[in-house]
Amino acid sequence: MMQKICIMGLGYIGLPTAIVAAEHGFEVVGFDIDIQRVERINNYDPVIQEPESIERLQPLIASGAFRATTILEAADCFLIAVPTPFKEDKKADVSYVIAATQAIAQVLKKDDVVIVESTVPVGLTDDCARLLEEKTGLKAGEDFFVAHCPERVLPGKIFFELVNNPRIIGGVNPESVTRTKLFYKQFVKGQLYLTNATTAEMVKLVENSSRDVAIAFANQVAAMAYATRLDPFEVIALANKHPRVNILNPSCGVGGHCIAVDPWFLVETFPEQSQLLQTARTVNDAKPLQVVSLTRSWIQEWQERNEGIPTVLVLGLTYKADVDDMRESPALAIAEKLQKYSDINLLVTEPNVAQTTLESLFNDAVVSLQEGIDCADIIICLVPHKQFKDIDHSATRNKKILDFCGLTYKPHVETSEQEALFWPANSLQSMTPFEPYKAGSIHKTIFDKEFF
Amino acid sequence: MMQKICIMGLGYIGLPTAIVAAEHGFEVVGFDIDIQRVERINNYDPVIQEPESIERLQPLIASGAFRATTILEAADCFLIAVPTPFKEDKKADVSYVIAATQAIAQVLKKDDVVIVESTVPVGLTDDCARLLEEKTGLKAGEDFFVAHCPERVLPGKIFFELVNNPRIIGGVNPESVTRTKLFYKQFVKGQLYLTNATTAEMVKLVENSSRDVAIAFANQVAAMAYATRLDPFEVIALANKHPRVNILNPSCGVGGHCIAVDPWFLVETFPEQSQLLQTARTVNDAKPLQVVSLTRSWIQEWQERNEGIPTVLVLGLTYKADVDDMRESPALAIAEKLQKYSDINLLVTEPNVAQTTLESLFNDAVVSLQEGIDCADIIICLVPHKQFKDIDHSATRNKKILDFCGLTYKPHVETSEQEALFWPANSLQSMTPFEPYKAGSIHKTIFDKEFF
């Protein structure tokens, strides 16, 4: 019988999983090496910024259904949810997973189940099983059971997705799958896909790599469009009218802890089979600097036509829209680069992050959205937060707008039942600095301002 | 008034477009430099292999609504549908488009419309307009009108898609769009998206490049899976259970005249902005040789365990499933490579191509599907034709099957309402040569045949 669960690592995955497991009748112990974190949790502080976490944590701590500890104890099931970052050389840092496994070895007993939820390089779950065999003398797949069950939850919707998402359970042998699913069946409503550990590991890495390659393609289309002075969002919107084409929107870069990291785990294991993933990483990593460079050249254009120092407003600093997380954020990196130039007056606005945090980075350059719009000569759109979508466009009429995230793109004008006008004028006229493409002498005649 | 249409180039796009235009009340003249082709068409021979073309051509020739000619004559609208292949150096060969434009210049009159349907590098439609201006002294966008309207029809469904697909109409100026859409509105039921010529050119190239990159990603996943001895189709099927992931199936290579060609047009114009497209092309171009190399190593494995020369059956030779076209086919290239090895007895089967054509390439190696299955020791699946899906699997039980196109992959077994078993045994046990992944010593213990 699986009654007592030990969750290793009380971060964005471990803590919500511990809470949900405890709510579903398991006796749950949360293990973490950070004593302060453990004490805060035991004092009803959820430590993570996730909706519902306070309300759901408190009754479980009060009733004793869940408690945190720094001293590992025996359990029926161990769930590893520690970080796997990458090192300077882009190799996976699996030391936390190995340390967790070694700790488990000290308390592992017959019939226990060990689940790796951390994202890991292909083959590591089998290596963990071997390590446990070596340390305990027990036999993996017979005496104890090991599986990889990759997490896939969206920050901000973790409690919903933990229950409703489909899960992949990959065992080191079939019996390990059978034992592991007993845990997830208690609370997962989504489909359970059962496979082996190696397949599960590769599936998780392939999912995130596929997003990375798709974003890199969008960023390449954007670069080609910029070079031609076309609107990249227009090109992509039109291409997506093809029934089998679905290009993502370009952005100012790829941030966060998954999509920019996981492809390197595959590159490390498969250097000869991953050229496309490597190129995609190079393309996406280069994007923030390209944004800075395009911004610089547009500032120069402004300076050729105007007197004085332009006021440049950056819209958005987080790593993606509608989150409060600035870690690994390309928008933040871009703003920090722009801060170094003395020939502009930089302003930043970020409605999802506390004023004090912003001021510690940008001092008095931090403004409200309205203040920024009022003062700016040039507006640089980096993150399409929902607050930015309500900007009154009459207030931006005489300003130069550089939109790297599609915030200002209006898809098209339906001119009749059968027709939709995508003439660049819609989005380019006042909202972006682009002029129509002028390649040869003909363009001077044909692409005249009057047409727009 | 637009009454008389001249279609330049009577191939897979030009001839069906001429037929549909004539059926919708235009007086249509088809121009081609190939006198034999012109004579055959005027004698009721449709020259292309496309369903419905004979029945639809004949009444139009009989009534005079459509006729073919090698002598260009005046018309109200010229539609360029000539090939744009690429040269040895991967640069676009636009000489047919330029030649067609120069021919049109000789008969162009005021108010005429010139439409480029051929796939062209970004900027060429504007260049054609300039060329017409230079040759005629008329003014593009005022005296005559030029637009790019890329074709996007599926061979085998051309007549349906010509009418029902959405179209992108990109003019060199807005008036050119207005004039061009008068032609398409007569027969297109799909949505008309109106934009400028440069955007339309880029959209078409971006669409096909996006497919090429997506296929390259699938082929990289396949290469990683082969290296780990996992089933690539299983990995992809499971990754696609993620709501925002949609990975294509890998294949034996990319053939045909669009997806393998069009990315080079973008690479030529944007060498600095197309690293991902270049890598994708390299990955996809390398695939047929990888298939040969994997096949060779699996043949070697067979030879280590068996006596004599293995009989190797190749399933499928066309460039994709359920077509009769072997031009630029990677499957054909693979079969021709394998033909050179004297240590195997090669058989090929291709139900969609005439026996005589096949025999001219493979002599007495050409067999029927049943004959091939009966004789083969090793079966190599290259193209997933529908005829191959009915193969009786009991007949292949003792044969080694190398499946590069997912023909034999059975997605999963539903074991209960909530569970689906993707354990590799389903697809790997008897249908492919893979053994489960064995990385370290643990794998010898855990991944034992008995489990499968």
Domain match, A336 and A443 both: yes
Domain match, A138 and A258 both: no
Q: Which of B197, B218, B252 is the last residue of a domain?
A: B197
Verify whether the Cβ–Cβ distance A239 to B206 is below 8 Å. Answer: yes
According to DSSP H, which parts of B33-73 are helical? Answer: 35-42, 53-63
Per residue in B87-134, pLDDT (tens digit) is: 888 899 999 999 999 999 999 999 999 999 999 999 999 999 999 999
Domain match, A333 and A396 both: yes
pLDDT (0 to 100) of residue B203: 96
In a domain, B235, yes or no: yes
Task: Give CA–CA dist B319/B329, Å, rounded.
Answer: 4
Residues of A tagged active-site = 204, 258
Residues of B tagged active-site = 204, 258
pLDDT (0 to 100) of residue A447: 29
pLDDT (0 to 100) of residue B431: 29
Strand partners, A29: A6, A67
Residue B387 DSSP one-character state: G
Domain match, B182 and B265 both: no
In a domain, A31, yes or no: yes
Whole-Å CA distances, B288 to B252, B294, B328, B334, B451: 6, 10, 12, 6, 34
Tokens of B325: 């076209």
Q: Which of B177, B197, B217 is the last residue of a domain?
A: B197
In a domain, B222, yes or no: no
Say whether residue B441 is in contact with chain A using an 8 A CB cutoff. Answer: yes
Verify whether the Cβ–Cβ distance A194 to B415 is below 8 Å. Answer: yes
Of A191, A242, A273, the CB nearest to B418: A191
Phi, psi of A285, deg, nearest 5? -70, -30
Cβ contacts from A onto B, under 8 A = 276
Residue B361 belongs to a domain with what CATH number?
3.40.50.720
The three-state secondary structure class of B350 is coil
Say how many domains are in chain A: 2
Domain match, B373 and B439 both: yes
ipTM of the complex: 0.90
Domain match, B248 and B146 both: no
DSSP, residue by residue, A329-363: -HHHHHHHHHHT-TTSEEEEE-TTS-HHHHHHHHG
In a domain, B214, yes or no: no
Which residue range(s) make up the domain with B235?
Answer: 229-451
Verify whether the Cβ–Cβ distance B446 to A194 is below 8 Å. Answer: no
Q: Which of A197, A215, A239 is the last residue of a domain?
A: A197
pLDDT (0 to 100) of residue B438: 36
Verify whether the Cβ–Cβ distance A419 to B266 is below 8 Å. Answer: no
Q: Return the number of other C-beta atoms located less than 10 Å from residue B19's C-beta.
A: 27
Say whether residue B395 is in contact with chain A using an 8 A CB cutoff. Answer: no
pLDDT (0 to 100) of residue A147: 97
Whole-Å CA distances, B200 to A105, A180, B109: 62, 53, 25
In a domain, A223, yes or no: no
Verify whether the Cβ–Cβ distance B276 to A280 is below 8 Å. Answer: yes
Say whether residue A421 is in contact with chain B using an 8 A CB cutoff. Answer: yes
Phi, psi of B82, deg, nearest 5? -100, 165
Beta carbons of A352 and A323 less than 8 angstroms apart: yes
Domain match, B192 and B258 both: no
Phi, psi of A86, deg, nearest 5? -120, 155
Helices (H) and strands (E) in chain B, counts: 16, 14
Beta carbons of B29 and B7 less than 8 angstroms apart: yes
A272 chain-B contacts, CB cut-off 8 A? 223, 227
Nearest CA in chain A to B204: A239
Domain match, B432 and B331 both: yes
Residues in chain A: 452
Q: How far is B255 from chain A (nearest CA, A)?
A: 18
The three-state secondary structure class of B386 is helix
pLDDT (0 to 100) of residue B417: 66
B419 chain-A contacts, CB cut-off 8 A? 181, 191-194
Helix B275-305 to helix B197-228 angle (10° resolution) is 30
Domain match, A306 and A412 both: yes
Residue B32 DSSP one-character state: -
pLDDT (0 to 100) of residue A397: 75
In a domain, A248, yes or no: yes
In a domain, B205, yes or no: no
Spans of chain A below 50 pLDDT: 424-452
Of B193, B246, B276, the CB nearest to A217: B276
From the list B4, B6, B56, the residue with the least C-alpha distance to B31 is: B6
Say whether residue A429 is in contact with chain B using an 8 A CB cutoff. Answer: no
Per residue in B367-396, pLDDT (tens digit) is: 999 999 999 999 999 999 999 988 877 777
Q: How far is A237 from chain B (nearest CA, A)?
A: 9
Tens of pLDDT, residue by residue, chain B (452 residues): 789 999 999 999 999 999 999 999 999 999 999 999 999 999 999 998 889 999 999 999 999 999 999 999 999 999 999 999 988 888 999 999 999 999 999 999 999 999 999 999 999 999 999 999 999 999 999 999 999 999 888 888 999 999 999 999 999 999 999 999 999 999 999 999 999 999 999 999 999 999 999 999 999 999 999 888 888 998 999 999 988 899 999 999 998 888 999 999 999 999 999 999 999 999 999 999 999 999 998 898 888 889 899 999 999 999 999 888 898 899 999 999 999 999 999 999 999 999 999 999 999 999 999 999 999 999 999 999 999 988 877 777 778 888 899 888 776 666 666 777 665 443 333 223 333 333 332 222 222 222 22
Domain match, B78 and B193 both: yes
Q: How far is A199 from chain B (nearest CA, A)?
A: 6
In a domain, A214, yes or no: no
Domain match, A347 and A405 both: yes
Domain match, A260 and A169 both: no
Say whether residue A199 is in contact with chain B using an 8 A CB cutoff. Answer: yes
Return the exposure string of A99-133: e unless at least 16 CB atoms fall within 10 Å of the residue's CB, then b. Answer: ebbebbbeebeeebbbbbbbbbbbbbbbbbbbbbb
Task: Give CA–CA dist A189/B406, Å, rounded.
Answer: 30
Per residue in B226-255, pLDDT (tens digit) is: 888 888 998 999 999 988 899 999 999 998
Residues 169-198 of A with CB under 8 A from B: 172-174, 177, 181, 185, 191-196, 198
Say whether residue B433 is in contact with chain A using an 8 A CB cutoff. Answer: no
Say whether residue A445 is in contact with chain B using an 8 A CB cutoff. Answer: yes
Task: Give CA–CA dist B184/B167, Å, rounded.
Answer: 9
Q: Return the number of other C-beta atoms located less than 10 Å from residue A304's C-beta.
A: 7
